[in-house]
Structure 1
């Protein structure tokens, strides 16, 4: 992933989310959804734990490859070899440099996915020319929802939104050159939408990402000490990772929309999460 343009940050509204989360904690477990262990990635980094919700509906080949490399322990010990403040943190190349890869073939582009209308998606906006929302915790943009409504069997053409914490597959210039590299957004950078494959989002550990040593490469790079698929951990050692339910997310969306007005964006939404 070569592009290193720095952009002015678009800050998430953390206070509103925390207030609503506090209200949820005083209610019931219906306010929470447990993440699928088979599609939850846990990175133990030199700065702390990072937990990612992966969505194969958005990028099936990417998620499949990440699980494969994780189980082969290819990622263990690799550096965050490129960390640019207010932009991106990159890791996952066995040579700890841009342009690396594995012996496996490169992946096909998965910048665009088809959102099946039978999936549970939380829509934040539905204008005449576009829609946006969340698939689980992962923000996405799409064509207008009425395009899918014309035919209930027609999936909605959608793409991952590059907000703080969005996780994707790095690549070289060719759009079909993603292989093993992972990147995590350190701020909203929407110009990357439809140009890179988004496969998930950090639900726990955004603060860890923001503490990573900066540089291209950093003088003393942080590392991924271990990477595991949650389902591969022994049941007794497996943390239960939960994120806010659709009902709570809808309340956060509405509160943020009222506060932001015309400036409202899905990147303003922080999805509450917890580990039990």
Structure 2
């Protein structure tokens, strides 16, 4: 009897997953979403525990403890990253243990994603899985998250396993040379304009240095599910596993619009391939 019951559960789960994959949009899970409140607006970050479980667990725990509230973005370089966290060497900073890097993860022959490009400059293959941009190597049986604009990753010192709580958000062109040597654990899905408006702390040579008191603070960093429902920002995200998304990629690669009177090569840069997001009213 128990065996039959188990089979029924598995069958129901299979049906449920099939139905879910048929939907063109998926709802952002508030349990894996961070609301970053800045003085000038709100930013929503979708976390990726399926790819970087330990860093997501750390970030969620620290957010729930108020670890980031009031800290500043102290290293903000135009076209690169906005990095923030507690003051270096402070009690709050020293209290956090170091994390082992989660730069990539193992896959098997049945692992799939929605292919974007073969043999780009940094990976054998690139594609999307559950809305996240990934690189893949069949030779190594490995996959990893990519440094596309808007991703959030944990900062570290020179040694790989030294991440604590300092993090950065990429605010410009993809620094893909950081792929597989840092832990990416999520991406901005709402409010990227507010990330771009974070005060730059780096100036050109000869310009007046930015006073630290003018650095952009994090007003609050909260787990979305901890907020009352009426304060949550509810979003839907394009399902990158749906056939319509693969078609979108194909159409984008062909560039059949009359605007392209000269056709560019039929390639796609995964970091310039947006995944749609919309508000739930």
**TM-score, structure 1 length as denominator?**
0.77
Residues 179-258 of structure 1 mapped to structure 2, 5 A cutoff: 179-187=164-172, 188-216=174-202, 218-219=210-211, 220-246=214-240, 247=242, 248-258=244-254
In the alignment, is residue 270 of structure 1 matched against residue 274 of structure 2? yes
Q: Tell me the distance in 2 between the aligned counterparts of 1:168 and 1:249.
A: 26
Q: Tell me the distance in 2 between the aligned counterparts of 1:234 and 1:120.
A: 36
- Deviation, 1:127, is 5.6
Higher relative contact order (CA 8 A, sep 6+): 1
- Deviation, 1:250, is 2.4
Q: Tell me the distance in 2 between the aligned counterparts of 1:257 and 1:222.
A: 39
- What are the ranges of 5 or more consecutive residues in structure 2 without an aligned counterpart? 1-21, 203-208, 256-263
1:105 to 74, 81, 97: 97
Q: Tell me the distance in 2 between the aligned counterparts of 1:230 and 1:67.
A: 10
Residues 119-158 of structure 1 mapped to structure 2, 5 A cutoff: 121-126=113-118, 130-144=124-138, 156-158=141-143
Question: Which one has the largest radius of gyration?
Answer: 2
- What are the ranges of 5 or more consecutive residues in structure 1 without an aligned counterpart? 1-28, 149-155
Provide closer, same or farther for how the CA distance between residues 43 and 139 of structure 1 changes in structure 2, counting only shifts above 3 A.
same
Provide closer, same or farther for how the CA distance between residues 79 and 249 of structure 1 changes in structure 2, counting only shifts above 3 A.
farther
**TM-score, structure 2 length as denominator?**
0.76
Partner of 1:77, secondary structure, is coil
- Deviation, 1:117, is 6.8
Partner of 2:117, secondary structure, is strand
Contact 1:32 1:243 in 2 (8 A): yes
In the alignment, is residue 161 of structure 1 matched against residue 146 of structure 2? yes
When the two chains are superposed, the root-mean-square deviation of aligned CA atoms in Å is 2.7
Q: May I ask how many residue pairs the two structures share in their alignment? A: 237
- Deviation, 1:115, is 4.3
Partner of 1:256, secondary structure, is helix
Q: Tell me the distance in 1 between the aligned counterparts of 2:116 and 2:38.
A: 32
1:57 to 47, 50, 54: 50
In the alignment, is residue 73 of structure 1 matched against residue 66 of structure 2? yes
Contact 1:137 1:201 in 2 (8 A): no
In the alignment, is residue 95 of structure 1 matched against residue 81 of structure 2? no
